[in-house]
Copies of this chain bind each other. A is one copy, B any other.
Amino acid sequence: MASQKEAFHQASPTEAFLFNCWYVAAWDHELIDGRLLARTLLDKPVVLYKGDSGKVVALDDRCCHRGAKLSMGRIEGDCVRCMYHGLKFDASGKCVQIPGQDNIPPKLGVRGYPVVERDHLVWIWMGDPAKADPAKILDFPYMRDAGWRGHPGYLHYDANYLLIVDNLSDFAHLAFVHAKTLGGSEEYAFKSKPTAIDRLDDGFHVERWHMNAPPPPFHKKVVRDVGAVDRRNIARMHVPGIFFMETLFSPAGSGAEKGNLAGAKQYRNCQFFTPETARTTHFFWDYLHDYELHDANIALSLYHSMVAGFMEDKAIIETQQKMLEADPAFAMNAIVSDAPLVHFRRTLARMVADEREGLKAVAA
């Protein structure tokens, strides 16, 4: 695990995406007002829109005639019309009208993608449509639970999505990257350690306690009069790049680790990383809280704190991306706390390899 010069890079599927899984394509609010949303996902230009029926449609964003972008076109009912020569496509992608031409070749059309709108997220399946089972969408119940309040966020990264996954696999970076935002003190890296690391079939699960510590700035901003806290993070990362975290702050010494949650304040965080290309990423997130839900400014403050913290990550991660591109031969060196990261990359690489084997078998 901690062996030096491990060939991370060779193992990391930076260019090979996993296709047979659900990715977040958009927040639902990005499709209001009849918007044709052009978004590249896994290197494919896709157009997303809500037709008049309210159903979300996802099609290849390239007219099959001359390659114009359908997202520069016009919604008509649940169809979209290319505004170059007027070809019209239905919600499945089938061409249903060619102005000035009576016969439409039956196979003429663009690719359509399975999509599911759930809890304000629009999920898309970029692989084999026959395998697109909505039951496989990971559940994060807090966005539909009245006991929690948040504010949806989006950021674009000029970096491969796995570098962001890496970032979240070792919380020691809070101490150095986020000392003045999400972290608090460098003690977090030197004194606290994960109490549990579980390797999952599709990711990892990490639990970390930091006892009797000053509250981190983002928490102190919204809970002004707060003393030392016991801080607990329970985080899960799932393939392809889905992160859930349960955070708890309780008064130091109040016994939260034994189950006493009196005076505790909690957060629920979801983060979704969807490759735009091998070197750029769509990042969707929400950070929800469970107290003083009547006060809309708490969610707003937390949103702004997260943006500030993510911008600190982004500066480092986008620089990492440039360094890796400048010298693809660079072999990273694992340290002990990279255990979750290494397991995740191996797991994903195996799943990508399996998927490719499956494709070859079908072809043969």
Contact = CB atoms under 8 A, between A and B. Distances in A.
Nearest to A193: B100
A146 interface: no
A84 B326 contact: no
Contacts of A83: 176-177, 316
A337 interface: yes
Interface stretch (A65-73, A131-139, A225-233): A65-73
Given A86-B186, A170-B85, A45 B323 contact: yes
A205 interface: no
A100 B189 contact: yes
Nearest to A81: B176
A204 to B, nearest CB: 17
Contacts of A262: none
A121 B101 CA distance: 39
A195 interface: no
Contact of A335 (B85, B326, B336): B85
A319 B68 contact: yes
Interface string A98-137: 1111000101100000000000000000000000000000
A324 to B, nearest CB: 6
Contacts of A337: 85, 100-101
Interface in A183-209: 186, 189-190, 193
A335 to B, nearest CB: 5
Given A83-B176, A84-B177, A190 B99 contact: yes
A312 to B, nearest CB: 9
Assembly stoichiometry (copies): 3
B326 A190 contact: no
A221 to B, nearest CB: 22
Question: Secondary structure of the A side of the interface?
Answer: loop
Contact of A332 (B66, B98, B99, B335): B66
A62 interface: yes
- Best-buried of A69, A85, A166, A327 by chain B (most CB within 10 Å): A85
A140 interface: no
Contacts of A177: 83-84
Given A4-B108, A336-B100, A69 B175 contact: no
Given A108-B4, A175-B99, A189-B100, A319 B69 contact: yes
Contacts of A323: 45, 62, 67-69
A24 to B, nearest CB: 23
Interface string A65-93: 11111001000000001111111000000
A311 interface: no
A18 interface: no
20 contacts: A66-B166, A66-B320, A67-B320, A67-B330, A68-B316, A68-B320, A69-B319, A72-B315, A83-B177, A84-B173, A84-B177, A85-B337, A86-B176, A86-B189, A98-B335, A99-B172, A99-B176, A100-B189, A100-B336, A108-B333
Q: Which 9 A-B pairs have the closest CB atoms?
A: A99-B189, A67-B323, A83-B176, A101-B336, A86-B176, A64-B333, A67-B320, A99-B190, A4-B105
